[in-house]
Amino acid sequence: MAVSGALLVFFLFAHAAGNLKIFVGESDFNHYAEWLRELGTPLLPHAWFLWIQRVGLLVAIGLHIWAAAALTIRAKKARPVKYAHRPKIQGSYAARTMRWGGVIIVLFVIWHILDLTLGKVNPAGGDADPSARVIEGFAPDRWYVTIFYVLAVVAVGFHLRHGIWSAVRTLGQQTTAGERRAKTIALVLSVILVAMYLSVPIAVTTGLVG
Amino acid sequence: MDIKVRVWRQASPSAAGKMVTYDVKGISPDASFLEMIDVLNETLILSGDDPIAFDHDCREGICGMCSMVINGVAHGPEKATTTCQLHMRKFSDGDVIDVEPWRAAAFPVIKDLVVDRTAFDKIIQAGGYITAPTGTAPDAHATPVPKKDADAAFEAATCIGCGACVAACPNGSSMLFTAAKIAHLGLMPQGQPERDSRVIDMLQAQDDAGFGGCTNAGECTTVCPKGIPLSLIGRLNSDYRKAVSKR
């Protein structure tokens, strides 16, 4: 859970940093997308690095879901009779929503790949430049897509708020002062990541970019 | 105080149980929660009903026997307090109070509010001890222990093994209990020789007993009557990783 999750967090930060290129200019953004395919050349053939990274991500996601499913099944078996009265949860909201939050994030990622990677559900289509897909995909008249992205990215933020801290604990963080530090760092990283991801669709929908 | 309690009644381990409502009248606000059940039981016995079975022993908050989930919270609304040390003044006149047993597959209900906590004994038997013969109490300065370690070990050793952590955990995990035992022995020089086998064996016993897995949700520590810190689970994780890497 912790190791696969950490790999996914590293990817999320790299992806978010790349997204911000659109604020530099559309051609810079397209150039960045092409550079991703040239990474590793000439050692590797064109786009091989990208595919190796995609396979690595799929393995990490697979392990993450497998571990989460195993924990969920164990939890259900460990409490066969539910409490009649279970009003409030004493833990954090983020910790309580890890499982359903994770399912929502998976569904969002599938939509996101169909939208901006493959262009199947994007008005610009799969053959258009990456920047055109972003700008037409988040056009003001497609405000509902932007709202969906905002909700999904906030869900990612909640997931990471508990997830980053919990990963640090799993990997052996063991002092009470360190626990406070780790929780603060998890919150700050989550907020930064959410802000980085939200800036692009909101800027396009409100007309700041494009 | 006049209150209503809705109590889980289950005649035997295999019988189906249900919540049953009782009126409790004229209870002193200074009565403990268990004394309130005692008073209710006297009226039940006088009217020919079966009294409510519940675990209790010392009634001074140190034995870890009392085990009730009160309004959905293990040991009730008062922080760092066992059920026996909870008083009726923490409730209001006219309240309806739900009382349930610990809910976990590893803690099967024996009767009403009494659960079988043998699973905790199995975890202790797997490694929650040292095998060196210790004889009578040694001189206090025979084995020097840094004050910081002694304090941390004592804090972990205050765990009374009541099982509230399991009752509160959304995963039904006993990780806080096991972590407390690992820490209180692992911080002491006497606990070092078996430190690696202890963490591996106790975690195996915990899994075998049917407890769930820990997801660091943190609900255990909020209900713990002894305030065992969640950070001990990180210590257990660290010990486990080191023990496995040495194999």
Q: What end-to-end distance do the CA atoms of chain B give, in Å?
A: 61
Q: What is the DSSP string of A30-51?
A: HHHHHHHHHTTTTTS-TTHHHH
Mean pLDDT computed over B111-115: 98
At A2, phi and psi to the nearest 5? -70, -45
Give the 3-state secondary structure of residue B25: coil
Tell if the CB–CB gap between B213 and A91 is shorter than 8 Å: no
Tell if the CB–CB gap between A95 and B218 is shorter than 8 Å: yes
The tokens for A126 are: 């799969």
Residue A89 has a pLDDT of 63
Mean pLDDT computed over B107-127: 98
Cα(B88)–Cα(B49) distance, integer angstroms: 24
The residue behind tokens 């669709």 is: A201
The tokens for A152 are: 């999904």
Share of chain A above pLDDT 90, in %: 90
Is residue B194 scored above 70 in pLDDT? yes
Cβ-proximal residues to B38 (8 Å cutoff; 6+ apart), any chain: none
Tell if the CB–CB gap between A90 and B232 is shorter than 8 Å: no
Tell if the CB–CB gap between B213 and A172 is shorter than 8 Å: no
- Reported as a single tens digit per residue, the pLDDT across B204-220 is 999 999 999 999 999 99
Cα(B240)–Cα(B244) distance, integer angstroms: 6
Residue B120 has a pLDDT of 98
Alpha-carbon separation of residue B226 from A110, B96, B120, B131, B164 (angstroms):
46, 27, 17, 27, 10
Cα dihedral A190/A196/A198/A200 (nearest 10): -170
Q: Which residue of A has its CA nearest to B171?
A: A75
Rounded to two decimals, the pTM is 0.94
Question: Which residues of chain A have a pLDDT value below 50?
Answer: none
Tell if the CB–CB gap between B216 and A170 is shorter than 8 Å: yes
Smallest Cβ–Cβ distance between B69 and the set A77, A83, A90 belongs to: A83
Residue B213 has a pLDDT of 96
Instruction: Please enumerate residues of B whose Cβ is less than 8 A from a Cβ of A.
Output: 6, 8, 19, 69, 71-73, 98, 100, 103-106, 168, 170-173, 210-213, 215-219, 222-223, 229-235, 237-238, 241
**Does residue B79 contact residue B86 with C-beta atoms inside 8 Å?**
no
Give B-chain residues touching A166 at CB under 8 angstroms. 215-216
Tell if the CB–CB gap between B105 and A78 is shorter than 8 Å: yes
Which of B9, B99, B107, B216 should we substitute to test contact with A (largest number of A Cβ atoms within 10 Å)? B216
In chain B the beta strands, taken as DSSP E runs, fall at 3-9, 18-24, 69-70, 73-74, 96-100, 109-111, 114-115
Give B-chain residues touching A75 at CB under 8 angstroms. 170-173, 212-213
- Reported as a single tens digit per residue, the pLDDT across B54-95 is 999 999 999 999 999 999 999 999 999 999 999 999 999 999
Question: What domains appear along chain B, each with residue ranges and CATH number?
Answer: 3-110 (3.10.20.30), 118-131+145-246 (1.10.1060.10)
Residue A90 has a pLDDT of 65
Conformation bin of residue B126: beta by default, left when phi > 0, alpha when psi is -120 to 50 = alpha
Share of chain B above pLDDT 70, in %: 100
Cβ-proximal residues to A146 (8 Å cutoff; 6+ apart), any chain: A138, A201, A202, A204, A205
Tell if the CB–CB gap between B234 and A91 is shorter than 8 Å: no
Is residue B6 scored above 90 in pLDDT? yes
Residue A107 has a pLDDT of 96
Cα(A85)–Cα(A169) distance, integer angstroms: 30
What band does B137 get if pLDDT is binned at 50, 70 and 90? Answer: confident
**Does residue B114 contact residue B101 with C-beta atoms inside 8 Å?**
yes
**Does residue B31 contact residue B87 with C-beta atoms inside 8 Å?**
yes
